Amino acid sequence: MKYLITGANGQLGREWVRYLSLLDDEIIATTSEQLDITDLNSVRKVITEVNPDFVINCAAYTKVDLAESDFDEAMRVNRDGVKHLITACEDSNSTLVHFSTDYVFSGSEEDRETYPGGYPEDAKTDPINRYGYSKRAGEIELEKSTMDWLLIRVSWLCGSQGSNFVKTMLRLGREHGEVSVVEDQTGSPSYTFDVVEKTHQLLMKNLNGIYHISSGGEVSWADFAEAIFSERGQNTTLHRITTAQFKTITKRPSFSLLNKDKLEQNGIHALEWDIGLKRLMMEIKGNESN
């Protein structure tokens, strides 16, 4: 199999490169600088030349707060970029794998009551910020296409590469000895190694459509932070605060749990969030010692 990876310099793209390099497959990894998905001509040229079986799109605009003021750029990447990839993949008969987010849902308390086991793939989308809106716009482009595609929604993405909540907590804890974390927003982390492994399993099963990949169980950001410090043995004071006390530019969903029943129905079992954290912390520790 031949894979073309876009956004290979991000935390998810780097995980794909690491995972596929262990398999007997051909990998063409392009950073966002090497392949700008907002440039249709460049996208067509590269995909035509490579002619991959799978295009793994890890290129995305992910600056949640900045998207409020930089909305046009967020749409250029998260909607138009996806549209360009679809056009080129249709021409080359490649399967497109695209990643989206829990932010396409409202995360309301009403939804928490409606979906106590998490949002299923076919739940009504209703983003409450511009980042979520831009990601949903990319999903719509996929849903309109007639090609083979796989859309993976993740939440609270974190891995050993790049920046994320886990690494930020460890850094802030070391630098300040205390952190404040909201306790009234809940969900479940998606670990990059788990997302890549499970997405690859879906591809090998020739499955298409929308799937949710995150960990089993539900946890608040504050409880997640506490588990991070405990796992590291790091003596950091944790202040539990409410969303109202934590001032941010962007409104964030209070309920971000994704339902994984569709995965289970296809023989792919969710990794419990605390078990996944142990593996991630080992990977981070290994990177720090190298």
Q: Answer yes or no: is pLDDT of 130 > 70.
A: yes
- Predicted local distance difference test score (pLDDT) of residue 286: 84
- CB-facing half-sphere around the CA of 222: CA atoms within 13 A: 16
Q: Is 27 left (phi over 0), alpha (psi -120 to 50) or beta?
A: beta
How far apart CA 202 and CA 117 sit, in angstroms, is 22
In the predicted structure, residue 219 carries a pLDDT above the cut 80: yes
pLDDT at 290: 65
Percent of the chain with pLDDT over 70: 99
115 is catalytic: no
140-169: per-residue pLDDT in tens? Answer: 999 999 999 999 999 999 999 889 999 999
Residues in the chain: 290
Percent of the chain surpassing pLDDT 90: 95
Cα separation values, 104 from 39, 125, 149, 198, 262, Å? 25, 6, 18, 21, 18
State if pTM tops 0.75: yes
pLDDT at 30: 97
User: What is the pLDDT at residue 24?
Assistant: 86
State residue 287's pLDDT score: 83
Instruction: Give the CATH number for residue 43.
Output: 3.40.50.720
Active-site option among 119, 131, 133, 191? 131
Domain count, the chain: 1
CA dist., res. 104 & res. 132, Å (int): 5
103: domain range?
Answer: 2-289
Query: Taking Cα atoms as reference points, which of 107, 103, 99, 73 lies closest to residue 198?
Result: 99
For residue 237, give both structure tokens: 């004071």
H-assigned helices in the chain = 11-20, 40-50, 71-75, 81-92, 109-114, 130-144, 165-176, 192-204, 221-232, 261-265, 273-289
Residue whose tokens read 């290979």 = 8
Band of residue 249 on the pLDDT scale cut at 50, 70, 90 = confident
Per-residue pLDDT of 68-88, as tens digits, reads: 999 999 999 999 999 999 999
Separation between Cα atoms, residue 213 and residue 190, nearest integer Å: 7
Question: What average pLDDT is seen over the chain?
Answer: 96
pLDDT computed for residue 200 by the predictor = 98
pLDDT above 90: residue 215: yes
